[in-house]
Copies of this chain bind each other. A is one copy, B any other.
Amino acid sequence: MTYRNPIQYCRACGASVAYRLPDDGDTRQRAVCPACGTVHYENPLNVVGTVPALPDGRVLLCKRNIEPRRGKWTLPAGFMELDETTSEGAARETDEEAGAQIEMGPLFSLLNVRGVGQVHLFYRATLLSDRFNPGTETIEARLFTEEEVPWDEIAFRTVRETLVRYFADRKTGAMGMHCIDIE
């Protein structure tokens, strides 16, 4: 995955844009419309999700039914939408991808993935049931102990790093909040 494709046309008037320094003192090249003057900014996206776990420490993972990484295992997560908070988005994704009943917990990890312009945020969540009803984006939703986790089949590095810290913190009994940069 890389950045989105460059902007070719102005979203406001449809004219061809050119990447250049805007006239307002901005020091970065932006897609600027020569017809109507609109400056188009491109910024990182947030991905929000949960670490849904039973009180015994087993964690819910979802086998992806969509690209990228179809067939690999992930925590429920997806792009944050405009009309929600980070934790509301995390709850929505947990419902959509796993159909899991949860009680939302505190923020657990913030992972910068600079190379693709993303920030991933995972919240702890307590599973209220071990019955799941995954949506069409998920092949299978299943509980795993640390030993059972398919570590070689994890879809994303942000999910792996979050899971590693979750199981480590459970052992110490002190659940932290982890900030991680992934190059």
A binding-site residues for B, Cβ under 8 Å: 3, 5, 7-16, 25, 28, 40-46, 79-88, 106-107, 110, 112, 114, 117, 119, 136, 177, 179, 181
Q: Are B46 and A136 touching (Cβ within 8 A)?
A: no
Q: Which residues of B contact A11 (CB under 8 A)?
A: 7-11, 40
Give the oligomeric copy count. Answer: 2
Residues of B contacting A15 in the complex (Cβ-Cβ under 8 angstroms): 14
Nearest residue, chain B, Cβ from A136: B25
Say what secondary structure dominates the interface of chain A: loop
A179 to B124, CA, bound (A): 13
- The residue in chain B whose Cβ has the minimal distance to the Cβ of A15 is B14
A129 vs B44: C-alpha distance when bound (angstroms): 31
Q: Tell me, rounded to whole Å, the shortest Cβ–Cβ distance linking A8 to chain B.
A: 6
Q: Considering the chains assembled together, what is the distance between the CA atoms of A10 and B120 in angstroms?
A: 28
Asked whether A81 lies within 8 Å of B8 as measured between CB atoms, the reply is no
Most buried by B among A10, A13, A28, A43: A43
